[in-house]
């Protein structure tokens, strides 16, 4: 993948530094894998941004309304995606960024805006999809499995810890701490004799000096830290066995270290995080801290110490985090870097396309002129499309202006020329409805049922100049049950197509794509079927006719025969146990009620479901080719 990442956030003494620090956690995860620019306003406290970051500034005269235009002028959407964290990135901002053709990941903690971003990350354990208003294509990455934590904290989350005594406290209210809750919490801890040490971490924008006077008076107990590195912050936390902190990034970090935590909220963006941790019994209930006085902190701490249930809380904290968080974020970002083109037809194509669009950026669609639902979908979702035969350069002339990494073909009606095949930067692949190299060609699932197979499946394969001959990427087996029809097999395929697409895309994202050459000696090929090809041959065996009928049953055109000059469509048959003389001609009706039974090569067939009108079937009469008019 060729795109780079723009990390976009601001922070200073007025707004706090939380948005910057959250993005730092993502930068640390991707910096050894992807190229990036950290973009911030000139009013940000840039001293907290690591020196090794590629830093760029938005000029002070550029307003938030004018920012999308400025970004598009200075950074091409063909070369960059944007990851933004901040309340100023409203619905209007997101829509403008999307209108400039950027892929956008938005780091959210309020769930208030209508989301136009491609991906929205909200790591509160409380938040659910129902809390969001969003576009159909917007993917939600929710909960602590997407926790915004720096790598060393993710490593610490794997460790197991128990608390025997509580005598060393950690206090941090980050940023500017406008309510000076730090000072109140420290004074409260000083009033509880069991605490021997109080470790205080101040935010980069903290300006009050009273805490330093307190440190001078109680130098034997209070230790104050500022501008700690990730490693040093962890070392300080590890010295502590109790913490007081708001429901912000610091709460996630403390939970990785594991200790009893008194937490609450004092700004809107902390409330959902607080509710989530509280509902999971991972913190002690602090509630709204806005009006807290020293006495409130004292009462809460005394209750916590008296209850002495510290390790129950640690178990709850451990349950919130796993060891795949960093990999999950990296995959999410890499997938957002990936751009797709989709070739598809029919209901199966639409079903898979709609799932792809929810999770990936689709730059164009090629379809056939009869796939009205796909055309409607593309129009509704503002995805450029071409409907018609793509050959002789028509399809390529349409897509050549679109830069895409991967082209995917799903149930597409047409063979495609090499100019389209070669247009993708990384991969052009097809999902075929058989276990290749068997059943190359059209409607393979129908042919598989006709031929009495008990296993079918789907194959992801590279598209080459041949027909379904490209190297195999992955396959999924799908059993054909005794009562399966062509339609029910497509339903099974519909459930498997997108997971297979997703698996291939993950391979591309992780640079782990491997392929297997098809064995030509095992190859079989079956051609297109048309409604006129469905006529029943009554000289076949019972099982052959049963397979023939179910393969083509409703909503397909159906297997058919003729009776007194009228076309009869049969959607379901079953094996009859009636004893029938071999002297009776095949195709003769041997019973008309309660079920029609027809003589075939090795016995009788029950006609269970028939599509016909005003037709009376008589014993002794024949279904046959000769009666057709």
Q: Does the pLDDT at position 93 exceed 70?
A: yes
pLDDT at 455 over 60: yes
237: CB partners within 8 A, 6+ apart:
170, 243, 253, 254, 257, 259
Residue 96 CB coordination number (10 Å) = 20
Give the side-chain half-sphere CA count within 13 A for 395: 28
225-268: pLDDT as tens digits: 988 888 999 999 999 999 999 999 899 999 999 999 999 999 88
Say which residue, 501 or 14, is predicted with more confidence: 501
Q: Average pLDDT in the 423-430 region?
A: 95
pLDDT more than 90, % of the chain: 76
- Residue 258: left if φ>0, alpha if ψ -120 to 50, beta else—which one? left
Two structure tokens written together for 50: 């690591």
What local confidence, expressed as pLDDT, does residue 197 receive?
A: 96
Task: Quick: pLDDT tens for 524-559.
Answer: 999 888 888 899 999 999 999 999 999 999 999 999
pLDDT of amino acid 2 = 60
Omega cis (within 30) before 555:
yes
Residue 397 CB contacts under 8 Å (≥ 6 apart), including other chains = none
pLDDT tens per residue across span 168-225: 999 999 777 889 999 999 999 999 999 999 999 997 667 788 999 999 999 999 999 9
Residue 140 has pLDDT above 70, yes or no: yes
CB 545 within 8 A of CB 452: no
* Helix H or strand E segment including 462: strand 455-462
Q: What is the pLDDT of residue 614?
A: 79
pLDDT digits (tens, 9 = 90+) for 2-22: 679 999 999 987 777 889 989
The tokens 């490593």 sit on which residue?
A: 155
Q: Determine the pLDDT at residue 628.
A: 45
Tell me the pLDDT of the chain averaged across its residues.
Answer: 92
3-class SS of residue 372: helix
pTM over 0.75: no
175: which 2 tokens? Answer: 């940023």
Task: Assign 277 a pLDDT band (cuts: 50, 70, 90).
Answer: very high
**What pLDDT does 532 receive?**
87
DSSP collapsed to 3 states, 200-255 = EEECCCCCCCHHHHHHHHCCCCEEEEECCCHHHHHHHHHCCCEEEEECCHHHHHHH
pLDDT digits over 29-63, tens only?
A: 999 889 999 999 999 988 889 999 999 999 999 99
């Amino acid at each position: 993948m060729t795109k780079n990442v723009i990390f976009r956030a601001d922070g200073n003494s007025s707004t706090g530094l939380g948005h910057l620090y959250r993005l730092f956690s993502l930068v640390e995860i991707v910096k050894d894998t992807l190229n990036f620019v950290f973009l911030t306003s000139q009013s940000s406290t840039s001293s907290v941004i690591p020196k090794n970051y590629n830093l760029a500034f938005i000029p002070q005269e550029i307003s938030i309304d004018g920012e999308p235009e400025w970004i598009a002028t200075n950074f091409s959407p063909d070369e960059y995606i944007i990851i933004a964290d901040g309340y100023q990135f409203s619905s209007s901002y997101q829509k403008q960024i999307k209108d400039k053709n950027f892929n956008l990941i938005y780091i959210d903690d309020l769930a208030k805006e209508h989301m136009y971003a491609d991906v929205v990350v909200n790591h509160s354990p409380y938040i659910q999809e129902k809390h969001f208003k969003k576009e159909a294509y917007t993917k939600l990455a929710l909960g602590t499995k997407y926790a915004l934590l720096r790598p060393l904290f993710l490593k610490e989350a794997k460790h197991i810890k128990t608390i025997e005594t509580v005598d060393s406290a950690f206090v941090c209210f980050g940023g500017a701490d406008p309510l000076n809750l730090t000072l109140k919490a420290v004074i409260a801890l000083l009033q509880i004799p069991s605490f021997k040490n109080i470790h205080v971490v101040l935010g980069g924008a903290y300006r009050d000096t009273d805490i330093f006077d307190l440190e001078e008076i109680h130098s034997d107990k209070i230790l104050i830290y500022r501008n700690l590195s990730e490693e040093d912050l962890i070392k300080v936390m590890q010295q502590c066995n109790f913490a007081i902190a708001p429901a912000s990034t610091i709460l996630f970090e403390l939970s990785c270290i594991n200790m009893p935590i008194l937490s609450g909220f004092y700004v809107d963006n902390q409330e959902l995080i607080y509710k989530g941790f509280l509902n999971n019994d991972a913190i002690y209930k602090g509630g709204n801290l806005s009006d807290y006085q020293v006495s409130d902190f004292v009462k809460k701490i005394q209750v916590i110490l008296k209850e002495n249930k510290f390790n129950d809380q640690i178990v709850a904290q451990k349950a919130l985090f796993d060891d795949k968080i960093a990999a999950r974020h990296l995959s999410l970002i890499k997938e957002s870097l990936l751009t797709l083109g989709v070739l598809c037809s029919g209901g199966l194509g639409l079903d898979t396309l709609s799932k792809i669009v929810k999770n990936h950026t689709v730059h164009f669609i090629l379809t056939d002129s009869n796939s009205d639902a796909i055309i409607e979908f593309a129009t509704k979702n503002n995805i450029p499309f071409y409907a018609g035969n793509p050959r002789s350069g028509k399809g390529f002339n349409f897509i050549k202006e679109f830069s895409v990494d991967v082209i995917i073909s799903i149930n597409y009606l047409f063979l495609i020329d090499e100019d389209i095949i070669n247009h993708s930067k990384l991969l052009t692949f097809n999902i075929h409805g058989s276990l290749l190299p068997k059943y190359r060609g059209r409607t393979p699932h129908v042919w598989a049922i006709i031929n009495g197979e008990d296993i079918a499946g789907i194959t992801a394969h590279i598209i080459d100049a041949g027909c379904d001959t490209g190297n195999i990427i992955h396959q999924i087996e799908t059993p054909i049950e005794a009562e399966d029809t062509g339609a029910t097999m497509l339903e099974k395929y519909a459930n498997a197509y997108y997971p297979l697409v997703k698996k291939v895309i993950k391979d591309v994202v992780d640079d782990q794509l491997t392929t297997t050459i098809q064995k030509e000696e095992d190859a079989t090929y079956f051609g297109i079927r048309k409604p006129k090809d469905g006529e029943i041959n009554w000289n076949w065996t019972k099982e052959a006719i049963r397979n023939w009928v179910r393969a083509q049953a409703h909503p397909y055109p159906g297997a058919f025969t003729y009776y007194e000059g009228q076309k009869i469509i049969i959607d379901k048959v079953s094996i009859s146990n009636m004893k029938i003389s071999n002297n009776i001609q095949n195709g003769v009706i041997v019973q008309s009620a309660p079920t029609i039974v027809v003589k075939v090569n090795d016995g009788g067939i029950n006609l269970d479901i028939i599509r016909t009108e005003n037709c009376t079937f008589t014993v002794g009469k024949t279904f046959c080719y000769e009666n057709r008019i």
